[in-house]
Amino acid sequence: MTENPTSRQLPVTRYDHGRAELAELLGDLPRYRVDQVWQGLYKDLVNPDEISTLPKNLREELRAALPAALRQDVRSVGDQGETIKWLWRLTDDALIETVLMHYQKRSTVCISSQVGCAMGCGFCATGQMGFDRHLTAGEMVEQVIRAQQEAGDRRVSNVVFMGMGEPLANFDRTWTAVERLHGDLGLSARHITVSTVGMVPGILRMAEEALPVNLAVSLHAANDDLRDELVPINQRWPLAELADACRVHFDRTGRRLSLEWALIADVNDQPVDAQQLASFARSLGAHINLIPLNPTPGWPSQGSSPEQVRKFAEHLTNLGANATIRRTRGTEIDAACGQLRSTRLERPRVAVDLPSRSDRQDSPPE
């Protein structure tokens, strides 16, 4: 009998403990000891047995009580040292990936929220691998901690939940991680972005939360026929419902929506696609991020050519939409968007049929 991944007992590791949990763990010890442990973990970013303000016997006890969630399996460097990807092995030997990207004025870490993904987007390498289990809040937070340790003086300023998994399918743990990144690590809510393929209930829950973090939607098609094929969750929550939820989020938070669009040659990179996308984006006041599709073994098409990407962006601009071509990072180390995958697993990929333009409605919405 196959185990239900969502019912599995998840590990409790170091960064599953915020200040309140540390106080409970330390029991009757003085409050200043709690502060010292919290300072060591969240400000000094050291292991419990390296917190020099603690007595040796307490450090040894905490080493066992506060285990690390992540063990480095692979570390790859690309873009002349500006992109670093880790393959982490978790305490149950599951594998996840994290990517740190340095830019001129900021450093962004892209973290995973699940082991694998159940959303089934055929062009995404992670989606082709299927779903294993949710990550804990501590496993998510520790990815940021490890990235900050790597970054050093080039402080991690932005966190994006755009790695393996659908964050809103793991909402409670994802939001605990968001709150810990904000409250314990001191990241501004406007520097945290949660990405979704379009889980409407999760978007509406985000809108009700106190922290107004950024919302990004992996759109990839702006008509329901094509999006049903590219992003199967659209069959449950079609574009009209998705748009309504995004409006609620904007009204409650004031955060401008981002729309992610992976450009696939001859699938969603034609003038009619630009017309549909521009109409959808304008109606929401959204910004569009264009991303040339990164090659994956399980998808039969290729990303749009640089010239076609440029033309598509120009078409959007002419239609009054706000669009940016995102610089592709880490392609040579399988770190770019859509390439996050557990390379050590020899798991069969889902066979995917390429959508046919002749099978879809090509007229732009009214």
- The domain tally of the chain equals 2
Sequential pLDDT tens for the chain (366 residues): 334 555 578 899 999 999 999 999 999 999 999 999 999 999 999 999 999 999 999 999 999 999 999 999 888 888 777 899 999 999 999 999 999 999 888 899 999 999 999 999 988 888 888 899 999 999 999 999 999 999 988 999 999 999 999 999 999 999 999 999 999 999 999 999 999 999 999 999 999 999 999 999 999 999 999 999 999 999 999 999 999 999 999 999 999 999 999 999 999 999 999 999 999 999 999 999 999 887 776 666 788 999 999 999 999 999 999 999 987 765 655 655 545 554 555 554 444 454 544 444 444 333
Statement to judge: residues 83 and 219 lie in one domain: yes
Statement to judge: residues 51 and 149 lie in one domain: no
Statement to judge: residues 128 and 188 lie in one domain: yes
Last residue of one domain, picked from the residues 46, 65, 84: 65
Task: Report if residue 1 sits inside a domain.
Answer: no
Task: Report if residue 3 sits inside a domain.
Answer: no
Statement to judge: residues 36 and 162 lie in one domain: no
CATH number at residue 44: 1.10.150
- Two tokens at 2? 């196959």
Statement to judge: residues 76 and 39 lie in one domain: no
pLDDT in tens, 231-287: 999 999 999 999 999 999 999 999 999 999 999 999 999 999 999 999 999 999 999
Task: Report if residue 366 sits inside a domain.
Answer: no
Q: What does the CA dihedral 22, 144, 190, 215 come to, rounded to 10 degrees?
A: -110
SS3 207: helix
Statement to judge: residues 20 and 157 lie in one domain: no
Q: Is 337 a catalytic residue?
A: yes
| Catalytic residue selected from 3, 50, 97, 307 | 97
Task: Report if residue 2 sits inside a domain.
Answer: no
- Residues spanned by the domain of 246: 71-359
Statement to judge: residues 243 and 331 lie in one domain: yes
Statement to judge: residues 120 and 163 lie in one domain: yes
Statement to judge: residues 347 and 208 lie in one domain: yes
| Catalytic residue selected from 241, 337, 346, 366 | 337
Statement to judge: residues 313 and 355 lie in one domain: yes
Q: What is the pLDDT of residue 312?
A: 98
Query: What pTM was computed for the model?
Result: 0.90
Bridge-based pairing of strands 192-196 and 114-116 is unpaired
Statement to judge: residues 43 and 84 lie in one domain: no
Which residues sit opposite 134 in a β-bridge? 114
Task: Report if residue 304 sits inside a domain.
Answer: yes
Q: Is 110 a catalytic residue?
A: no
H-helix segments, the chain: 19-26, 31-38, 56-65, 125-129, 137-151, 171-183, 200-208, 224-230, 239-253, 271-284, 306-318
CATH number at residue 122: 3.20.20.70
Statement to judge: residues 303 and 328 lie in one domain: yes
Closest Cα partner for 85 from 73, 68, 69, 67?
73
